Amino acid sequence: MKENGRKTYTYNKSMELFEKAATLIPGGIYGHMSPTAMVPGEYPYYTAEANGCRYKDIDGNEFIDYMCAYGPMVLGYGNPVIDGAAEAQRKMADTTNHPGPVMVELAEKLVDMVPIADWAFFAKNGGDMTTYATLAARAHTNRKKVITVRGHYHGVAPWCTSYGHGGVTAEDRQNTLQVEWNDLDGFRQMAKENRGEIAAFIAMPYHHITFGRQELPAEGYWTGVEKICREEEIVLILDDVRAGFRLNLGGSNEYFGFKPDLICFSKAVGNGYPISACVGKKELMTAASKVFFTGSFWMSAVPMAAALATLEELENTEAVKKMEKSGQLLIDGLVEIGQRHGLEINPSGPPAIPFIHFCDDPSLYLNQLFCSEVTKRGSFFHPHHNWFLSVAHDEIDIKETLNHAEEAMKAVKSALDGKSPCLAV
């Protein structure tokens, strides 16, 4: 398609490859990257190459990326400092009979950076760490039950996956209780009713659920939760997999002002290299050591070297400040464009991990239309999932994105043409 002499993107090669994939792979592409989670057919499906804050799909379309691989990319794709550290380690050793010395260096770095941390444990994915943390909490307390917040995502293990997903049984969830986000009284009541049985409370630092508006903690929520956990001897676990290292390098709890017992990190910790970490207070170290938890590649040295370099680079580049500034510039620009076109945009979440909704669009039809139109013009906006900024995004990238958004908004207005969003899509 052409617009002002400039083509909007099509995804023919993505579609073609997906057709083949669907004959070989369940779902074609599964999990969070499944096309079903976006607007199927209106987004690219396969990446060809990536550099800095941009990537190209297999149709040759280039995108300024506001998903950052769903969070892991924090310093830019192909960052030479991180890739250099990984390559240096690769030349020495990666997956062998033993971990490399870099494992101890990385643990030491995390203990130095994260105020609550006295020790660190490593794996591959965020879900490894949330499961590990709950096991450690059970080992520490000799209790079974875990309280979660409804809608918070902690991975795909059956204990934290919604009943109804394939293979998950009601029994898998029988020790998992749920409270609503920001419902301190509900949490207090649940803790009281199950006194002596709750091993842990696990939650994200703020409410950032797919398809929903992001909600920050209410005044006094986290300090209240912390107090109840102390009184009831419940282990407080922060799932900082998604937000970690974008709000505060010491953990998002430092941003919101509370002290968990365990923190789970992944995504940004290795700038795309596969690694996750759980850090904790010394009181839990003995129990943590009793949890038998491992995997074939968990001791691989290359991701650890990359993570060490990433943490150092995040400190050296004032990453948190930079991402906040870029995110604010993006959000302010989008809100202004919405106002000018008479479609009010409602941003939510911290600027470094922003998301938008249109007012009066509870079914997300407008989000789906607008985000896919922006994406077709060269800036990847997910319609249902919070976005991510990175250190690699600069002012020029943001301005280019706002130009894409301006043109996309015109396309949305044209598609609406007096119709309801439901009929326009």
Partner 1 sequence: MVLSESVLAAIYLKAVVPLLEDIAEIDEEVRDIIKDWNFNLQFQLPGGLHASSLLFKEGTVEAWRARSPGPAAVLTFSNAATLNAVFQGKSDKSPRPNLYGLFRLKELLKVDSLLKKIEYYLEPDEDLLSDPEAFSNCVRLTLYAMVYGVKVIGEEDPDMIPLARNLPRGIVEIRVKDGPAVHLEVENGLFNPGKGRAVEPCAYLEFEDLQSAWIMLQGEMDQFAAIGSKKVKIRGLIPLIDGINPILDRLSLYLSG
* Residue 269 or 366 with smaller CB distance to partner 1: 366
Strands (E), 189-281: 198-203, 235-239, 262-265, 276-280
418 binds partner 1 (CB under 8 A): no
* Residue 22 or 104 with smaller CB distance to partner 1: 22
**Smallest distance, partner 1 to C-beta of residue 211, A:** 5
Considering only residues 103 to 162 of the shown chain, the ones binding partner 1 according to CB under 8 A are 150, 162
Q: Is residue 64 a contact partner of residue 400, using CB atoms and an 8 Å limit?
A: yes
36 binds partner 1 (CB under 8 A): yes
**Smallest distance, partner 1 to C-beta of residue 331, A:** 24
Q: Which of 216, 384, 400, 416 binds partner 1 (CB under 8 A)?
A: 384
* Residue 43 or 121 with smaller CB distance to partner 1: 43
Taken in order 284, 286, 291, 296, the sign of the CA dihedral is positive
* Residue 150 or 195 with smaller CB distance to partner 1: 150
Q: Which of 9, 35, 262, 302 binds partner 1 (CB under 8 A)?
A: 35
* Residue 30 or 413 with smaller CB distance to partner 1: 30
**Smallest distance, partner 1 to C-beta of residue 33, A:** 10
274 binds partner 1 (CB under 8 A): no
Residue with token string 């909600």? 215
Q: Which of 10, 34, 51, 286 binds partner 1 (CB under 8 A)?
A: 34
H/E run at residue 390: none
Q: Give the chain's length.
A: 425
DSSP reduced 3-state for 275: coil
Q: Which of 3, 8, 13, 15 binds partner 1 (CB under 8 A)?
A: 15
Q: Which residues, in sequence order, are bridge partners of residue 52? A: 77
Q: Which two tokens stand for residue 306?
A: 């990359």
40 binds partner 1 (CB under 8 A): yes
What's the CA gap between 361 and 420, in Å, rounded? 10
Residues 187-226: x where in contact with partner 1 by CB under 8 A, - otherwise, as a string: ------------------------x---------------
CA dihedral (173, 177, 178, 183) in degrees, to 10, reads -170
β-pairing verdict for 379-380 and 355-358: unpaired
CA dihedral (387, 392, 397, 398) in degrees, to 10, reads 40
Considering only residues 229 to 248 of the shown chain, the ones binding partner 1 according to CB under 8 A are none
What's the CA gap between 93 and 354, in Å, rounded? 39
Nearest to 275 by CA among 417, 113, 60, 74: 74
DSSP reduced 3-state for 7: strand
**Smallest distance, partner 1 to C-beta of residue 22, A:** 4
Contact range with partner 1 by CB under 8 A, out of 101-109, 289-297, 374-382, 416-424: 416-424
**Smallest distance, partner 1 to C-beta of residue 72, A:** 23
Considering only residues 45 to 104 of the shown chain, the ones binding partner 1 according to CB under 8 A are 45
1 binds partner 1 (CB under 8 A): no
Q: Which of 6, 7, 10, 19 binds partner 1 (CB under 8 A)?
A: 19
What's the CA gap between 213 and 349, in Å, rounded? 8
State the DSSP string of 290-357: HS----TTTT-HHHHHHHHHHHHHHHHTTHHHHHHHHHHHHHHHHHHHHHHTT--EEEES-TTS-EEE
164 binds partner 1 (CB under 8 A): yes
3-state secondary structure 11-60: CHHHHHHHHHHHHHCCCCCCHHHCHHHCCCCCCCCCEEEEEECEEEECCC
Please state, as a whole number, how many other Cβ atoms lie within 10 Å of the Cβ of residue 177. 18
Q: Which of 28, 99, 158, 333 binds partner 1 (CB under 8 A)?
A: 28
**Smallest distance, partner 1 to C-beta of residue 177, A:** 13
Residues 358-377: x where in contact with partner 1 by CB under 8 A, - otherwise, as a string: ----xxxx--x---------
Q: Which of 6, 7, 30, 230 binds partner 1 (CB under 8 A)?
A: 30
22 binds partner 1 (CB under 8 A): yes
Residues that bind partner 1 (CB under 8 A): 15, 18-19, 21-22, 26-30, 34-37, 39-41, 45, 150, 162-165, 170, 211, 362-365, 368, 384, 420, 422-423, 425
